[in-house]
Amino acid sequence: NMLEASSNLPWYKGWAVERKEGKADGKTLIDALDAILPPSRPTEKPLRLPLQDVYKIGGIGTVPVGRVETGVIKPGTVVTFAPCNLTTEVKSVEMHHEALEEAVPGDNVGFNVKNVSVKELRRGYVAGDSKNNPPKGAA
């Protein structure tokens, strides 16, 4: 039942699912996997990247890491960290030791920032684009 319907399971009639995009049905595992819709990526919303950790890497500098929740982060983006209201420029963006042109929602990334000490940032801070609805601390 992985690639083709088995003759040993005559009682199995298959599966079916209805959703806004239309109906899908099949008899095999491959059919089910092919029917999975990828999640929508909220790239049009303002950048929000909660920090999971901050590292100091010799020869590179301060590298905050986290998962992009909304928006897009690219090298050259000027980001603001909330709630400390610290603004700096992103020098580079990496995922799994490979440089990225841009990171989209769902990507776990590390990004190198200019002139920021590890002591100024901490887990839980949120990075956002300073020109597009930057994040702010709660009042």
- Other beta carbons within 10 Å of 116: 19
Task: Let me know if residue 44 belongs to a domain.
Answer: no
Task: Let me know if residue 135 belongs to a domain.
Answer: no
Task: Let me know if residue 69 belongs to a domain.
Answer: yes
Residue 139 has pLDDT above 80, yes or no: no
Q: Are 107 and 58 members of one domain? A: yes
Distance in angstroms (rounded) separating the CA atoms of residues 116 and 15: 54
Name the DSSP class of 132. Answer: S
Q: Are 65 and 31 members of one domain? A: no
Q: Are 118 and 82 members of one domain? A: yes
Token code pair at residue 32? 């089910």
Q: Are 12 and 66 members of one domain? A: no
- Of the ranges 12-21, 45-54, 121-130, which one carries the lowest mean pLDDT score? 12-21
Q: Are 66 and 95 members of one domain? A: yes
CA angle, residues 24, 43, 76, in degrees to nearest 5: 150
Distance in angstroms (rounded) separating the CA atoms of residues 48 and 105: 9
Distance in angstroms (rounded) separating the CA atoms of residues 6 and 10: 8
Tell me the backbone φ, ψ of residue 29, rounded to 5 degrees: -65, -40
The alpha carbon of residue 104 and the mean position of all alpha carbons in its chain are separated, in whole angstroms, by 5
Task: Let me know if residue 134 belongs to a domain.
Answer: no
Q: Are 73 and 115 members of one domain? A: yes
Q: Are 12 and 57 members of one domain? A: no
Q: Are 59 and 120 members of one domain? A: yes
Q: Give the up-direction half-sphere exposure of residue 55: CA atoms within 13 A in the CB hemisphere.
A: 12
Confidence of residue 81 (pLDDT cuts 50, 70, 90): very high
CATH code at position 116: 2.40.30.10
Residue 107 has pLDDT above 90, yes or no: yes
What residue numbers bound the domain in which 110 lies? 49-129
pTM exceeds cut of 0.85: no
Domain count for the chain: 2
